[in-house]
Amino acid sequence: MPELPEVETVVRQLSSKLVGQKIVKIDIRDHLVVSSTIKKIIPAKILGISRYGKWIILNLDQHRYLVIHLRMTGHFYYIPKENNPSLFPQKYVAGIFHLDSGSHLTFNSIRRFERIFSTNQKGFAKLLAKLGPDPLAENFTFPHFNSLLNRFPHANIKTKLMDQHFLAGVGNIYAQEALYRAKINPLQRIQEISPPKLKQLYSTLRTLLQQAIDHNGTTVHNFAHIDGKGDFQNFLAVYQKDKCQKSHLITRIVQAGRSTYYCPVCQK
């Protein structure tokens, strides 16, 4: 499940391979996933690649952008020109980008929830306006986090952490792990949580995300980054676990249609 750390890993790898190259052609195999409007912006030079929450942005020349969301099963394969493209997975290929170097970038989508489209500066600004702050941004301080939380005293803490309008990048796995580390019950409303615990949540969330990036993300189900798989799944404490680190039984509940795993003993 690509969340912030997984997307960050993909962005770093894409950057090292693609920046400076020019997209000269695109083959669209799945029009649901890859917008056909992309054809109109080609050729396009890739100036830079960045991440906003879970969105990947390819910054192209002439103030154009290629926007990608990996959802659950989106995956890029980079095929250097010396490699035979037929040796790479042919299944679930939604689009193939041809680069001026002779290399290829394929985008594979299993569940077809994934999206790639092009946009201009206006569309790009509109996308960003919908997103909350990035929890790893330098200017994202505890007072900032606290003031955001205070605007939703009645909201459920776990659901709010996953709300991209509130905070951009945190998904189901890292929301649960952060709450476990901060010893906060996922059923609590924001106003019920003590200020010291909120402070703890702030710092633990940032540490957690940074550690996951250092491990190239978490690999569960289908996620793999371009150059292999991350290994942060070995450091998860509650997600899909039977027992917590103190051997208490983990409980699974459903919140907003999503599984939440937590320890009723450690997370009062």
Residue type, 6: E
As measured in angstroms, the least distance from the Cβ of 39 to DNA is 20
As measured in angstroms, the least distance from the Cβ of 54 to DNA is 4
d(C-alpha 236, C-alpha 132), whole Å? 25
d(C-alpha 238, C-alpha 264), whole Å? 11
Query: Taking Cα atoms as reference points, which of 215, 19, 221 lies closest to residue 111?
Result: 221
Name the active-site residue from 17, 54, 64, 115.
Answer: 54
SS3 track for 180-203: HHCCCCCCCEHHHCCHHHHHHHHH
Name the active-site residue from 112, 197, 206, 258.
Answer: 258
Query: Taking Cα atoms as reference points, which of 136, 156, 151 lies closest to residue 205?
Result: 136
Give 76 or 239: the residue with its C-beta nearer to DNA: 239
User: What ranges make up the beta strands (E) of 15-148?
Assistant: 22-28, 44-52, 55-60, 64-69, 74-79, 93-99, 104-109, 115-120
8 is an active site residue:
no
195 is an active site residue:
no
3 is an active site residue:
yes
Give 8 or 103: the residue with its C-beta nearer to DNA: 8
Radius of gyration of the chain (CA): 20
As measured in angstroms, the least distance from the Cβ of 65 to DNA is 16
Burial bucket for residue 171 (CB in 10 Å: 0-12, 13-18, 19+): buried
As measured in angstroms, the least distance from the Cβ of 174 to DNA is 9
114 is an active site residue:
no
* φ and ψ of 238, to 5 deg: -125, -30
Give 101 or 163: the residue with its C-beta nearer to DNA: 163
3-class SS of residue 26: strand
As measured in angstroms, the least distance from the Cβ of 135 to DNA is 13
Give 22 or 241: the residue with its C-beta nearer to DNA: 241
Chain positions contacting DNA, by CB under 7 A: 1, 3, 32, 53-55, 69, 71-72, 92, 110-113, 130, 152-156, 159, 162, 164, 171-173, 189, 221, 239, 252, 255-259
Would you name the residues annotated as active-site residues? 2-3, 54, 258
